[in-house]
Structure 1
Amino acid sequence: MDGLLKAGRLFFAIAMALFGVEYFIYVAGLKGPIPGPPWIPGSHAVAVLTGAALIAVAVCIVTEKLARLAAALLGVALFLYVLFLQLPRLIAQPHSPDPWTSGFELLALMGGAFVLARIEIPDGLRLEPTNKVLSHLAIFGRVGFALALVVFAVQHFLYAKFVATIVPAWIPARLFWSYFVGVAFVAAALAIVTRQMARTASILLGTMFFIWVVILHVPRVAAQPRNGDEFTSLLVALAMSGASFILAESFAPDLVA
């Protein structure tokens, strides 16, 4: 298996597992990070089921046992979450950036899950979707991922001054990087949709997200270890890095759906 795919699968699985752990921390009432956007804890029963499901999916992906089925089910669950929970929030608050961010983060992760399901090795189970179905889901996933990147780009342009305040103070020209990332998102989205230099663009995108994890999110979590929103943001960035590397591998000549 390609090293790029291994890294992508690992990052994606770690993020899903730790999302699950967040739910159990929430249920236990412990002092620590609780689920922030895009994950809404809801009742304790729902939180336990969701946490267990996310950890199970992560185990399947890492062990490569039932990974295809687990990734496909995760993609379906995320799509339903966006459709029935996030979309109503977006319609009710169209001028608020929060539902746009959380909704399209979930849509991007859905895309990564569907693409991963397509390129995983089949287990030969009757419950598994066929290659034809997974090929269609992978195409849908890529489009969803690209659409999310465009939304993120628009947010970087609209809220450039705010985004600049998030860039570490030791990095010069912080406003420039806000616009630069917006342009990078648009370029990556175009590459993914047109399949022109899509593999290279996805690798660069995954690398950019991983750099954010290291230089931006880890220090913020270290400064506020009990802040669920900061911890969740770190995991989203890690999952996005993994999903980008998974997309990159899916554009290999022998794997393109």
Structure 2
Amino acid sequence: MGVIVLVVGFVAARRELQAAVGLDKLVAVGRVLYAAPLAAFGVEHLALGRVILGAVPVWMPVRLFWVYFVGVALIAAALSLVLGIRVRLTATLLAIMFFLFVVMIHVPNAVAQGHDRIIWNVALRDLSFGAGALALAGSLWIGARDRGGSAAVWIGRVVVAVVLMVYGVELIRYPQFAPGVPLAKLTPAWVPGPHVWALLTGLVCLGGGVAILIRRYCRDGAAAVGLVMTLLTLFLYLPILLMASGVPAVLEGANYVWDTLLFAGTVLLVAEGAPKREQ
């Protein structure tokens, strides 16, 4: 499903791709890179509902219903983004959904296990997913020209920038872990100079975060980080998935592929809402 949405999205965005130059070509497909993982995770919710059920707060009624509801919503959102149907509404609802995930699931987990940096990184990851959607929604409300749109774009930009800078520090402090979103996976032994790639990715995240905070360089900084995350998806996590054997390893590999691509799409949504710098 994720691959189908990628193909449909690239076909739908072909005119924007042809008109864009340089890194703006990547920005032109930012929504596609954001949408495809949503579709993949949506199907995962439908196929593995009883496994994902464990993440739903125990106090919620009909917990399994919400797993399936979110799965259908993610697939619908993915199709909306790539087909250009009700994009503003979709982006707004996605931002609300991810922020609810952070408040209802990740923050309680982080508070209960405050010593575990991975749990905090997961919370920041979903927070950034919501912030990217918020930036997109704000840019579409009124082209980010009045107070409401400008505020949403600004909040989304600041949140993504702060998350990038935190991730940059994490990657530099713990270079043995795979670069990208700093989670628990170690860099495979077949990757040459793993610490170097982690350091470089960390520096890109730090620099990109600072650039995003500066209005003049926001688009360039976000596009650069989006490019790095896309390359990591293609040349690190996709090979990990293709070399995986056994259902658990394949599922883990697929999750890392779509997770990293979704983070790339998130940063590119911030780039889309930023003004182009005169060349």
Cα distance, 1:230–1:139 mapped onto 2, change above 3 Å: same
- What are the ranges of 5 or more consecutive residues in structure 2 without an aligned counterpart? 1-15, 58-62, 180-184
Which amino acid letter does the alignment assign opposite residue 147 of structure 1? Answer: V
Moved more, 139-148 or 222-231: 222-231
Task: Tell me if 1:111 matches 2:131.
Answer: yes
CA distance in structure 1 between the aligned counterparts of 2:26 and 2:200, rounded to whole angstroms? 25
Matches within 5 A, 1:107-146: 107-120=127-140, 132-146=147-161
Alignment coverage as a number of residue pairs: 241
Task: Tell me if 1:243 matches 2:258.
Answer: no
Cα distance, 1:35–1:172 mapped onto 2, change above 3 Å: same
Which amino acid letter does the alignment assign opposite residue 215 of structure 1? Answer: F
Which amino acid letter does the alignment assign opposite residue 226 of structure 1? Answer: V
Task: Tell me if 1:10 matches 2:25.
Answer: no
Task: Tell me if 1:232 matches 2:255.
Answer: yes
Deviation at 1:49, TM superposition (A): 0.4
CA distance in structure 2 between the aligned counterparts of 1:196 and 1:253, rounded to whole angstroms? 8
Assess if the C-alpha contact under 8 Å between 2:37 and 2:262 holds in 1.
yes
Assess if the C-alpha contact under 8 Å between 1:5 and 1:245 holds in 2.
yes
Q: Could you tell me the percent identity over the aligned residues? A: 26
SS at structure 2 position matched to 1:146 = helix
Matches within 5 A, 1:1-257: 1=16, 3-27=25-49, 40=55, 43-120=63-140, 132-163=147-178, 166-222=186-242, 223-224=244-245, 226-227=247-248, 228-253=251-276
CA distance in structure 2 between the aligned counterparts of 1:64 and 1:112, rounded to whole angstroms? 17
Assess if the C-alpha contact under 8 Å between 1:225 and 1:231 holds in 2.
no
Assess if the C-alpha contact under 8 Å between 1:114 and 1:134 holds in 2.
no
Which amino acid letter does the alignment assign opposite residue 159 of structure 1? Answer: Y
Deviation at 1:75, TM superposition (A): 0.4
Moved more, 198-207 or 130-139: 130-139
Assess if the C-alpha contact under 8 Å between 1:26 and 1:41 holds in 2.
no
CA distance in structure 2 between the aligned counterparts of 1:233 and 1:41, rounded to whole angstroms? 21
Which amino acid letter does the alignment assign opposite residue 101 of structure 1? Answer: N
Cα distance, 1:236–1:131 mapped onto 2, change above 3 Å: farther
- What are the ranges of 5 or more consecutive residues in structure 1 without an aligned counterpart? 123-129
> How big is each residue's C-alpha offset from its partner over 1:133-156, in whole Å with a ceiling of 9 and x where there is no partner?
232122111111112112212221
Assess if the C-alpha contact under 8 Å between 1:221 and 1:231 holds in 2.
yes
Query: Partner of 2:3 in structure 1?
Result: none
Assess if the C-alpha contact under 8 Å between 2:52 and 2:67 holds in 1.
no
CA distance in structure 2 between the aligned counterparts of 1:98 and 1:184, rounded to whole angstroms? 20
User: RMSD of aligned C-alpha atoms?
Assistant: 2.7
Deviation at 1:194, TM superposition (A): 2.2
Q: Compare relative contact order (CA 8 Å, sep 6+) and give the higher one, 1 or 2.
A: 1
